[in-house]
Amino acid sequence: MTGFKRMPQCALAGKRVFIRADLNVPQDDRGAITDDTRIRASLPGIRAALSRGGAVMVTSHLGRPSEGQFNAADSLAPVAKRMSELLGRDVPLIRDWVDGGVWLAALRPGDLVLLENCRFNKGEKKDDEALARKMAKLCDVYVNDAFATAHRAEATTHGIARFAPVACAGPLLAAELDALGRALAQPKRPLVAIVGGAKVSTKLTVLKSLAAKVDVLLVGGGIANTFLLAAHGKIGKSLAEPDLVGEAKAILAAFPGKVPLPIDVVVASEFAATAKPTPKAVENVAADDMILDIGAQSILAMRAMIAMAGTIVWNGPIGVFEFEAFAAGTKALAEAVASSPAFSLAGGGDTIAAINKFSVADRIGYISTAGGAFLEFLEGKTLPAVAVLEERAN
């Protein structure tokens, strides 16, 4: 399955090297980076390109900004700052880079620049061909090292790979594919998957095929809320995707008993660190409640299921663990995964932040930088960013 070119096989000396990394790091409300794992994971690829004499430009998306305009909240500026601290050198951030210009003309072997959030460019998410062709013109070698975005066919993850003179996989992308492929080739059963987090719609759609592959599918966060809405009809003001209730019902009906839902939750009247937590049975959730964590009974049930697992796959927190009052569920989950004898794989930006916050990293079998891409890999899907590298290799 790894029929693509890898960075060590490509000549980089004196070449313009365009690296697509995933520097989509979690940030607090003031924009401070709360976990820099993805930035650190991208450094080996960047350092290798520099030391081999490449003139290096790196880009990434951050968040999900509206295309066609700059907005400071989604700027890569904090990432440029963190990267320059980690590398011990200045990392200039270039805005409006698609058409090249002075910055490109000035780029020399050994230079490194960061290209502003690629999702500010109109056409990025739609994998627009004209945009991808322009981007491809900036470089001699395109390197995709963004495993965490490999499930997206966008201009910087897919289109550019079709048109760049050379297209190859960076060391992080290659290592993640190798490690996950090995770990999931013959997983020890029961295979327990935990899928949580706030990105409801893009994850809910993968759950159907995931449910078929695993023995237990534990849901949390906004995803669980959508299932609770499907099962009980009321979740108050909680984050959910009402449009996907039909999908959630279909999954519950197709896999009876495989998708246990929380029986109790912790609610608040607002989404805030200072909100007062109130434990409740799911039947008692009121119209103005917001579910922000799972309750004590659900924690016990979750612990029992994780304790009997042969393999654990975890993506997404199950409560708003960033707020102390609503962190108990995710903390218990992190500890249960860490202390289980099962082989555990965990991935995703917020998941890594939770793993680090609860200090269990050294007791997780494998930690992937990817969340959504990791789930789609597990689902057995071809990741478009990988597929296009394979096409280029043929």
Active site residues: 38, 199, 349, 372
52 versus 82: smaller Cβ distance to Mg ion: 82
Query: Residues 353-372: x/- map of binding to ligand 3PG (CB under 6 A)?
Result: ------------------xx
**Binds 269: which of ligand 3PG, Mg ion, none (CB < 5-8 Å by kind):** none
Strand bridging mode 16-20 / 141-144: parallel
- Closest distance to Mg ion from the beta carbon of 63 (Å): 8
**Segment 182 to 221, residues that bind ligand 3PG, using CB under 6 A:** 199, 202
171 versus 371: smaller Cβ distance to ligand 3PG: 371
Structure tokens at 226: 């959508």
- Closest distance to ligand 3PG from the beta carbon of 313 (Å): 15
User: Is-contact 184 345, C-beta < 8 A?
Assistant: yes
51 versus 201: smaller Cβ distance to ligand 3PG: 201
219 versus 265: smaller Cβ distance to ligand 3PG: 219
Please list the helix, strand and coil fractions of the chain in percent, rounded to the nearest 5, in that order.
45, 15, 40
Give me the residues that bind Mg ion (CB under 5 A), please. 349
Structure tokens at 378: 């597990």
**Binds 221: which of ligand 3PG, Mg ion, none (CB < 5-8 Å by kind):** none
In the three-class reduction of DSSP (H, G, I as helix; E, B as strand; rest coil), residue 55 is classed as: strand
Query: Residues 332-351: x/- map of binding to ligand 3PG (CB under 6 A)?
Result: -----------------x--
Q: How many residues bind ligand 3PG (CB under 6 A)?
A: 11
Distance between CA 76 and CA 389 in Å, rounded? 26
- Closest distance to ligand 3PG from the beta carbon of 337 (Å): 19
User: Is-contact 343 183, C-beta < 8 A?
Assistant: yes
Strand partners, 143: 19, 168
**Segment 57 to 86, residues that bind ligand 3PG, using CB under 6 A:** 64
Query: Residues 142-161: x/- map of binding to ligand 3PG (CB under 6 A)?
Result: ------xx--x---------
What lies within 8 Å, CB to CB, of 233 at 6+ separation is: none
With binding defined as CB under 6 A, does residue 24 bind ligand 3PG? yes
Structure tokens at 325: 């009052």
Nearest to 225 by CA among 199, 206, 250: 199
Distance between CA 37 and CA 23 in Å, rounded? 9
194 versus 245: smaller Cβ distance to Mg ion: 194
State the burial class of residue 221 (Cβ atoms within 10 Å of its Cβ: 0-12, 13-18, 19+). Answer: buried
User: Is-contact 164 139, C-beta < 8 A?
Assistant: yes
**Binds 34: which of ligand 3PG, Mg ion, none (CB < 5-8 Å by kind):** none
- Closest distance to Mg ion from the beta carbon of 116 (Å): 18
Q: Give 237-300 as a DSSP string.
A: T----GGGHHHHHHHHHHSTTTSPPPSEEEEESSSSTTPPPEEEEGGG--TT-EEEEE-HHHHH
**Binds 148: which of ligand 3PG, Mg ion, none (CB < 5-8 Å by kind):** ligand 3PG
- Which residue do the tokens 């070698």 mark? 141
Query: Which H/E stretch holds residue 168?
Result: strand 166-169
Distance between CA 290 and CA 265 in Å, rounded? 10
32 versus 300: smaller Cβ distance to ligand 3PG: 32
**Binds 64: which of ligand 3PG, Mg ion, none (CB < 5-8 Å by kind):** ligand 3PG
- Closest distance to ligand 3PG from the beta carbon of 371 (Å): 4
- Closest distance to ligand 3PG from the beta carbon of 140 (Å): 26
The residues that touch ligand 3PG, with contacts defined as CB under 6 A, are: 22, 24, 64, 148-149, 152, 199, 202, 349, 371-372
